[in-house]
């Protein structure tokens, strides 16, 4: 997994002001999520959450082809939201992303705040908003939550790349004329795969352990 | 959970071992969406001075070993973190 193995924002790509903003915005939200989890989580649910985090780690390693020699990978935010709720999903994605960065060099140290903001804050928040609004067709709303989580996380990345480019006068980032269409175009397709995988796993878990899917829905409704 | 976490982790490792060859057949060596965007934008990445202790490996066996290592690491860190937070909370409430 050499070429194509660094799946998250690397060091040296973003303007320092942008990656500092990433930390400043992401950290308080994630701290609040961990606090909520520590306060309210039933101890019996912790092993399942930890298994889910481990599963998302390996799932993110398995890139799949999208189009024109480009690949994508699961984020897993929507899956985590529908199974354990938004706060736990944020905690799950945080641990996955921090370990990818510190132990596997996947995603930069300076870019860690932005990677957390995009995948551990934006993606779970979007997923939980869409899923909480669902009333009837759960599979359709899980698909929509998954697709939107990927698309808006990619949109956030494109905005960060564009802002870096504009602030630095082109030293960092990528011009918005390339960053926005490229990121949104590729991730519109990746989101479909994310939706199919998420609905598939959720449907399987709903069959074999319906109490887990039910608990997830209750967490999102709170 | 009906069974212990080790059973589920083993099941995930088996699924990973089965799906990993598909990655090597269809996606190995290809850029992901962000890398493709960076390539299109002609941005020379500054690189990092930080050297991570592991990588995702360059062969099926290496990726399998590092994937399972990462999986266990994530499980242990998440579990330990949540247990410590729960214990601190309980102690604070007493």
The residues near B88 (Cβ < 8 Å, ≥ 6 apart) are A38
Q: What is the pLDDT of residue A1?
A: 54
pLDDT band at residue A3 using 50, 70 and 90 as cut-offs: very low
Considering only residues B11 and B85, tell me which one the structure prediction assigns the higher pLDDT: B11
CA–CA dist A146, A152 (Å, integer): 10
Instruction: Output the CA angle A147-A149-A151, nearest 5 degrees.
Output: 65
Give me the residue label for tokens 């306060």: A39
CB contact under 8 A, A104 and B54: yes
In this prediction the pTM is 0.95
Say which of B36, B71, B86 has its CB closest to residue A54: B71
CB contact under 8 A, B36 and A70: yes
CB contact under 8 A, B89 and A47: no
Using the Cβ of B41 and the Cβ atoms of chain A, whether some distance falls under 8 Å is answered with yes
ipTM over 0.95: no
Considering only residues B39 and B80, tell me which one the structure prediction assigns the higher pLDDT: B80
Instruction: Write out the two tokens for A193.
Output: 């795969």
DSSP per position, A14-65: S-HHHHHHHHHHHHHHHHHHHHHHHHH--GGGHHHHHHHHHHHHHHHH--EE
**Closest-CA residue of chain B to A209:** B1
CA–CA dist A161, A72 (Å, integer): 18
CA–CA dist A62, A57 (Å, integer): 9
Q: pLDDT tens digits for B45-61? A: 667 778 899 999 999 99
């Amino acid at each position: 997994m050499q070429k194509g193995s660094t799946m998250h924002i690397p060091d040296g790509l973003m303007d320092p002001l942008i990656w500092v903003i990433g930390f400043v915005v992401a950290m308080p939200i994630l701290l609040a999520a961990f606090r909520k989890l520590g306060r309210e989580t039933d101890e019996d649910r912790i092993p399942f959450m930890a298994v889910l985090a481990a599963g998302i780690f390996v799932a993110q390693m398995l890139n799949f082809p999208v189009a024109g020699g480009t690949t994508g990978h699961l984020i897993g935010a929507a899956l985590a939201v529908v199974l354990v709720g938004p706060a736990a999903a944020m905690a799950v994605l945080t641990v996955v992303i921090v370990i990818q960065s510190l132990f596997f060099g996947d995603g930069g140290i300076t870019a860690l705040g932005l990677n957390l903001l995009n995948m551990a804050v934006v993606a779970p928040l979007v997923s939980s908003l869409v899923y909480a609004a669902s009333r009837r067709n759960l599979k359709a709303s899980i698909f929509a939550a998954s697709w939107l989580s990927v698309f808006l996380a990619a949109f956030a990345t494109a905005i960060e790349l564009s802002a870096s480019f504009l602030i630095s006068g082109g030293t960092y980032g990528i011009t918005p004329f390339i960053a926005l269409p490229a990121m949104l175009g590729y991730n519109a397709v990746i989101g479909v795969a994310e939706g199919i995988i998420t609905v598939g796993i959720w449907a399987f878990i709903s069959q074999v352990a319906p109490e887990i899917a039910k608990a997830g829905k209750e967490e999102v409704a709170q | 959970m009906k069974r212990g976490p080790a059973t589920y982790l083993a099941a995930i490792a088996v699924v990973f071992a089965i799906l990993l060859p598909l990655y090597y057949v269809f996606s190995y060596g290809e850029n992901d969406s962000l890398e493709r965007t960076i390539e299109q934008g002609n941005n020379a990445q500054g690189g990092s001075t930080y050297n991570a202790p592991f990588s995702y490996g360059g062969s099926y066996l290496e990726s399998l070993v590092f994937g399972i290592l990462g999986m266990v690491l994530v499980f242990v860190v998440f579990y330990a973190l949540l247990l410590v937070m729960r214990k601190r909370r309980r102690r604070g409430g007493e």
